[in-house]
Amino acid sequence: MRAMTILSGIGFCVFATAAAAQPASWSISGQPAVRIGEVDGEAPYLFSRVGNAVLTADGLVAVANGGSNEIRLFDRRGSWMRSVGRAGQGPGEFRYLARVLKLPDGSLLGVDAFQSRVSVFTTAGAHVRTETMPVRAAPEAILGDGSYVMIAESGTPGQTGILEYVGHILRIQPGATQVDTLAAVAGGQGYWMQAPNGSMSQAELPFKRVLSRAFFRNAIYTGNGQEYAIAIHDASSGSGVAVRRQEPARRVSAADIERYRQVALASVAENRRQNLERVLGQVPFPEVMPHFSSLLIDSEDCLWVQRYQPNFDDAVSWDVFDARGNPLMQLRGPAGLRATEIGADYILGVQTDEQGVEYVVLHNLTRR
């Protein structure tokens, strides 16, 4: 049995529940209903650095393609319709298109992470406006009151070793010059080491914790996986705990370390492996892995918590909770899928093949 703690608007309750089984009526299609992307072909179908994909109000698949700094629009059959935005620094142009968000009126908002600004387009292709943020941060979501929300992580490295970041949840009203800080939360991790030339450099920390987040109406959900705890921060009523589950983390074995090293070394060019060997010989490996690595809120108000995946495992598994925090099920997804949006009857996301080619895929989701 697993203990779970839930904080809701009507009080605080503790109960025990067994690991939920997947109901037969919930299923994800084994093959995608829509698969967009090609190894070679026309430019609109060649993806690079896809930030996310969303389904628009008029039924189009909108893809934030960071490699070309444009939002590409496809119909539900996967045929390219048009692209909006382009590389540059002028109105409606991007230096780094990080993501695309949906506005209540059906238009799309492209987020430029390098220029800390947003550009709004209609799905017909018209540029509406470009707005610069008052701080160097890029909006991650739009709350129910129309404000932008983002999380900025900070930490000051003083010496070599593990750096624990702090995440600052920021809210900005459109057109405002003031920034509201809603909360500070435990963030992800980094690792700083001394390079051969004596300078400080940042290295990838194996099995590191990352600050996961999800956004819903006026609420922000956060957790870094150090424990199975997900906090909720409401823009008007403060913070609390949405879900807390008492269960042990997966321990890191010697076999896990060796598999991590093999995959990491195989992922870089041969002329870089000697340096990576040096780095892997210095960075510490933790005793346990994080509990989870990402959060999503679907269109039916359910919270999807994706279990942590080490670099040698492409299995996807979610714990799904209803709007009150009650556990619904554990659900397995297509291998290697990075889900970016979950609707009532679909899961939309990005998959990358062994050659590094990116595809945008839409899988059917059945839940009756």
Q: Please report, for the chain, the start and end positions of each structural domain, with discontinuous segments joined by +.
A: 144-313
86, amino acid identity = R
3-class secondary structure, 259: helix
pLDDT for 176-229, tens place per residue?
888 999 999 999 999 999 888 888 888 999 999 999 999 988 899 999 999 999
Q: Quickly list DSSP for 56-79.
A: -TTS-EEEEETTTTEEEEE-TTS-
Residue 79 corresponds to which tokens in the numbers above?
């045929």
List Cβ neighbours of 65 (8 Å cut-off, separation of 6 or more).
47, 48, 49, 50, 51, 71, 72, 97
CA gap 139, 281 in Å, rounded: 37
Q: Quickly list DSSP for 125-183.
A: S-EEEEEE-SSS----EE-TTS-EEEEEEE----SSEEEEEEEEEEEE-TT-S--EEEE
**Does residue 337 contact residue 361 with C-beta atoms inside 8 Å?**
yes
pLDDT, residue 194, reads 84
CA gap 30, 66 in Å, rounded: 28
Q: What is the pLDDT tens value at each position of the chain, 368 positions in all?
A: 333 333 333 222 222 334 444 444 789 999 999 999 999 999 999 999 999 999 999 999 999 999 999 999 999 999 999 999 999 999 999 999 999 999 999 999 999 999 999 999 999 999 999 999 988 889 999 999 899 999 999 987 767 899 999 999 999 988 888 899 999 999 999 999 988 888 888 899 999 999 999 998 889 999 999 999 999 998 777 788 889 999 999 999 999 999 999 999 999 999 999 999 999 999 999 999 999 999 999 999 999 999 999 999 999 999 999 988 899 999 999 999 999 999 999 999 999 998 899 999 999 999 87
Tell how strand 338-342 and strand 346-352 pair up: antiparallel
pTM: 0.90
CA gap 62, 54 in Å, rounded: 5
H/E stretch holding 26 reads none
List Cβ neighbours of 337 (8 Å cut-off, separation of 6 or more).
316, 347, 349, 350, 351, 361, 363
